[in-house]
Amino acid sequence: MNKKKVSLKDIAEKAQVSTALVSYVLNGKEKESRVGHEIAVKIKQIAKELNYEPNYLAKSLRSGKTQTIGLIIADISNPFFANIARIVEDEAKKYGYTVIIGSSDEKADKSWDLINVFLNRQVDGFIIVSSEDSEEQIQYLLDKNVPFVLLDRHFPNLPTDFVSLDSYKASFDAGSHLIRQGYRNIGLIAYKSRLFHMHERIRGYRESLEQHSISFHPEWLKEVEFDAVEREIKVGIDEMLASDSAIDALIFATYRLAIAGLKYINSLGLKVPDDLAIVSFGQAEAFDLYYCPITYVLQPMEALGKTAIEILVQKLKKPDPDRKHILMQAQLMERDSSRLKLKIS
Amino acid sequence: MNKKKVSLKDIAEKAQVSTALVSYVLNGKEKESRVGHEIAVKIKQIAKELNYEPNYLAKSLRSGKTQTIGLIIADISNPFFANIARIVEDEAKKYGYTVIIGSSDEKADKSWDLINVFLNRQVDGFIIVSSEDSEEQIQYLLDKNVPFVLLDRHFPNLPTDFVSLDSYKASFDAGSHLIRQGYRNIGLIAYKSRLFHMHERIRGYRESLEQHSISFHPEWLKEVEFDAVEREIKVGIDEMLASDSAIDALIFATYRLAIAGLKYINSLGLKVPDDLAIVSFGQAEAFDLYYCPITYVLQPMEALGKTAIEILVQKLKKPDPDRKHILMQAQLMERDSSRLKLKIS
């Protein structure tokens, strides 16, 4: 398989154009150089026929640009992140970027590995869904002036660009909705986490109770460990139901928590919403197919992904010391799982 | 931030060991060189403290090895592939490999892009879930002697290593199970695709009817376009139900098809399984949470992902012209959606 490497000149000769023109086209600069569409197509066709292989590595070392974006998500097996990855990819493609993806499994050390691997693969920039305790990595990227945008999660103390959900408001709205529907004893299951968005979800929930003059009972709030969701959710729900102020409604702070919780609620034979009303963060097919469609916090995934790419592409074009802080609003999708409470007289 | 770059020598001095030893440890070769665990930990710790940055790029150009595997999946927003990506990553990590992921969205041209991007990023090898019409790319990798393993889908005419599901057998079992449960008019919804595994699912279904002396009715088989699933599934189910031999059971050849189909079946007010029994490929939380838990074909995802990595790592260690062809067996998880048919007398 030791063929001579095909050069730009070989292509130029076959296409009967200049080598410079071939270079423009194969480097994706046909627009700048006003090359006709037909000739560009012809050049690409010939390059393909001849099995031309651009030496990207040498090229990147020269230009410092690879037209590649590294996307680090917190957990690829979580549909929310998998879907957002799909959106980021589609959007990046429109700007001529290829996205390579790594999943940190919510672990800071794996996220470090990925940042290093991607830096060494010379991505032009990053989109990062941060894992807990990864502030140091983000600071490192800031120090090195690597262009990046945080997505879905951010660190309020670090001067980064970010595109996140307004988790406080979304959670406040979820609680207020349940109260308006006649529920009073409202629980929240969240993760035990130092991540800001999780704290905001707790804060919004508590504020919704407070503003409606409902006294908060500590047993209504359960923060479960990421690595022990199934077990801790069972204990948590048991305690919430056994309390003197037993809950009549429950908010799940993430999709994963909702799935585990709903399985347990089913196994207890509780009927949604008559025995227990439900609102959850995160959209999912499982919520649609549940016997009682689940009211959920619709996160603007499309807009989150698109905006993150737009900001990053802008920064790649023209470095900008200003930071963009985008907090997007969720929309509460009201369905049967939180319908008006039956008053038992 | 223009600090002098930290060298192996700097680390060696601080750790009071030889530069060679530092090199061994930081290149992950401590086992070969019998370095003690404690000293290895110490060296890594110091490297971290000093913010040592290995020059992977220069290193890869020298050694030709990057300890990176490129994983191309067909669609990241499909939970089956997202979960398999997670397994591949976890497994690769055990062997010291980092996985970078790209999603082809079931499109051959995007898969080409990703193969090029990853080759130019110098991955050591590939795991590929092929998209339709991508034989040419696979042949290209074969011609170039790039180590790779096909996962979940393969091309029977190409001499590649692969790890796939025995789709024929899984589909045969699904059909036979429904027949044993008393159903006779069994439909199948699959994708219109040139991919081998999809044909095998259709073949297995038809064979199950044939072996049980049930005449196949053409209107029982619907092959829907990937880009028009929702619309074509509605039409397909309508036709299957309106037929003179109206179906009493339905098999979905993939998870996506099942979700779209179940939504439509719900909207028609049909009760599973009394009006229509269901079996589906692909496992999903939505199947557990459905009012009538769905019988499904459990694919051995863990084993599929692990075996693919094992074969690839073997090949990376020691090139081997032999090809491994692994067809794994699925397991039918029998649940309420296909329970014994009620005989109406």
Joined together, the tokens standing for residue A244 give: 């003197």
Chain A: closest CA distance from residue B340 (Å): 22
Strand order of the β-sheet with A249-252 is A221-224, A186-191, A249-252, A277-281, A295-298, A331-333
In this structure, are strands B249-252 and B277-281 parallel, antiparallel, or unpaired?
parallel
CATH class of B167-298+332-338: alpha beta
Q: What is the DSSP string of B143-172?
A: HTT--EEEEE---TTS---EEEE-HHHHHH
From residue B69, alpha-carbon distances to A135, A148, B89, B147 in Å are 27, 24, 9, 10
Average pLDDT over residues A245-260: 96
Residues of chain B with CATH 1.10.260: 8-54
Joined together, the tokens standing for residue B206 give: 């038809």
DSSP state of B343: P
pLDDT of residue B345: 47
Joined together, the tokens standing for residue B318 give: 């020691």
Judge: A266–B289 Cβ closer than 8 Å, yes or no.
Answer: yes
User: For B221, what's the count of Cα atoms within 13 Å in the CB-facing half-sphere?
Assistant: 16
Containing B94, the helix (H) or strand (E) segment is helix B79-94
Give the dihedral sign, CA A82/A86/A87/A89: positive
Nearest to A82 among B61, B76, B121 (CB): B76
Mutate to test the interface with A, among B1, B6, B99, B100 (most CBs of A within 10 A): B100
Containing A278, the helix (H) or strand (E) segment is strand A277-281
B66 contacts B60 by C-beta, under 8 angstroms: yes
Give the dihedral sign, CA A328/A334/A335/A340: positive
Give the 3-state secondary structure of residue B251.
strand
Query: Of B156, B164, B165, which Cα lies nearest the Cα of B138?
Result: B156
From residue A210, alpha-carbon distances to A184, A204, A229 in Å are 12, 10, 28
Q: At B132, is the pLDDT very low, low, confident or very high (cuts 50, 70, 90)?
A: very high
In this structure, are strands A249-252 and A98-103 parallel, antiparallel, or unpaired?
unpaired
Chain A: closest CA distance from residue B262 (Å): 8
Question: Which percentage of chain A shows pLDDT scores above 90?
Answer: 73
Query: Of A289, A294, A299, A247, which Cα lies nearest the Cα of A268?
Result: A247
Chain A: closest CA distance from residue B103 (Å): 8
| Minimum CA–CA partner of B57 in chain A | A120
Q: Indicate if the pLDDT at residue A66 is higher than 90.
A: no
What does CATH list as the number for A167-299+332-338? 3.40.50.2300
Q: At B9, is the pLDDT very low, low, confident or very high (cuts 50, 70, 90)?
A: confident
Could you tell me the fold of the domain covering A8-54?
Answer: 434 Repressor (Amino-terminal Domain) (1.10.260)
CATH class of B67-165+301-330: alpha beta
Give the 3-state secondary structure of residue A126.
strand
pLDDT per residue as tens digits for the range B87-107: 999 999 999 999 999 999 999
| Minimum CA–CA partner of A286 in chain B | B286
A32 vs A220, more confident:
A220
Q: Which residues on A lie below 8 Å from B89 (Cβ)?
A: 76, 103, 105
Q: Which residues on B lie below 8 Å from A54 (Cβ)?
A: 120
Kindly report the number of other CB atoms within 10 A of residue B41's CB atom.
12
Q: Which residues on A lie below 8 Å from B75 (Cβ)?
A: 86
The CA radius of gyration of chain A, in Å to the nearest whole number, is 25
From residue B240, alpha-carbon distances to B218, B220, B233, B250 in Å are 10, 6, 10, 9
Q: At B2, is the pLDDT very low, low, confident or very high (cuts 50, 70, 90)?
A: very low
Judge: A61–B61 Cβ closer than 8 Å, yes or no.
Answer: no
A284-A285-A286-A292 Cα dihedral, nearest 10 degrees: 100
DSSP state of B100: E
Burial class (CB in 10 A: 0-12, 13-18, 19+), A342: exposed
Judge: A117–B291 Cβ closer than 8 Å, yes or no.
Answer: no
Q: At B61, is the pLDDT very low, low, confident or very high (cuts 50, 70, 90)?
A: very low
b or e along B171-188 (b: 16 or more beta carbons within 10 Å of the residue's beta carbon)?
A: bbbbbbbbbebebebbbb
Q: What is the DSSP string of B255-290?
A: HHHHHHHHHHHHHTTPPTTTT-EEEEES--HHHHHB
Q: Indicate if the pLDDT at residue B156 is higher than 60.
A: yes
Joined together, the tokens standing for residue B258 give: 């099942």
Residues of chain A with CATH 3.40.50.2300: 66-164+301-327, 167-299+332-338
Nearest to A289 among B98, B122, B289 (CB): B289
In this structure, are strands B295-298 and B277-281 parallel, antiparallel, or unpaired?
parallel
Q: Indicate if the pLDDT at residue B230 is higher than 90.
A: yes
- Cross-strand partners of A266: none
pLDDT per residue as tens digits for the range A159-171: 999 999 999 999 9
Report how far residue B130's alpha carbon sits from residue B164's, in angstroms, rounded to the nearest whole number.
11
ipTM of this complex prediction, to 2 decimal places: 0.74
Residues of chain B with CATH 3.40.50.2300: 67-165+301-330, 167-298+332-338
Q: Any idea how long chain A is?
A: 345
pLDDT per residue as tens digits for the range A99-113: 999 999 999 999 999
Interface A:B, Cβ pairs < 8 A: 129
pLDDT of residue B3: 44
Could you tell me the fold of the domain covering A66-164+301-327?
Answer: Rossmann fold (3.40.50)
Q: Which residues on A lie below 8 Å from B85 (Cβ)?
A: 76-77, 103
DSSP state of A78: S
Q: Indicate if the pLDDT at residue B59 is higher than 80.
A: no
- Main-chain phi, psi angles of A289, to 5 degrees: -85, -10
Residue in this structure with the two tokens 């079992």, named with its chain if needed: B173
Burial class (CB in 10 A: 0-12, 13-18, 19+), A212: middle
Residue in this structure with the two tokens 């672990």, named with its chain if needed: A107
Report how far residue B52's alpha carbon sits from residue B35's, in angstroms, rounded to the nearest whole number.
20
Nearest to B100 among A102, A105, A262 (CB): A102
B106 Cβ partners below 8 Å, 6+ apart?
B74, B75, B131, B132, B226
Query: Of A128, A89, A125, which Cα lies nearest the Cα of A108?
Result: A128
Q: Which residues on B lie below 8 Å from A68 (Cβ)?
A: 117, 121
Q: Which residues on A lie below 8 Å from B77 (Cβ)?
A: 79, 82-83, 85-86
Report how far residue B68's alpha carbon sits from residue B221's, in angstroms, rounded to the nearest whole number.
43
pLDDT of residue B168: 97
pLDDT of residue B142: 94
- Main-chain phi, psi angles of A279, to 5 degrees: -135, 140
A342 vs B135, more confident:
B135
A296 contacts A282 by C-beta, under 8 angstroms: yes
Average pLDDT over residues A39-62: 70
Mutate to test the interface with B, among A45, A90, A100, A107 (most CBs of B within 10 A): A100
- In degrees, rounded to 5, the angle at the alpha carbon of residue B287 between the alpha carbons of residues A260 and B181 is 135
A93 contacts A67 by C-beta, under 8 angstroms: no
pLDDT of residue B33: 58
Joined together, the tokens standing for residue A128 give: 């990062």
Query: Of B254, B229, B249, which Cα lies nearest the Cα of B170?
Result: B254
Chain B: closest CA distance from residue A285 (Å): 6
Report how far residue B281's alpha carbon sits from residue A173's, in angstroms, rounded to the nearest whole number.
38
Q: Indicate if the pLDDT at residue A1 is higher than 50.
A: no
The CA radius of gyration of chain B, in Å to the nearest whole number, is 25
Containing B71, the helix (H) or strand (E) segment is strand B68-73
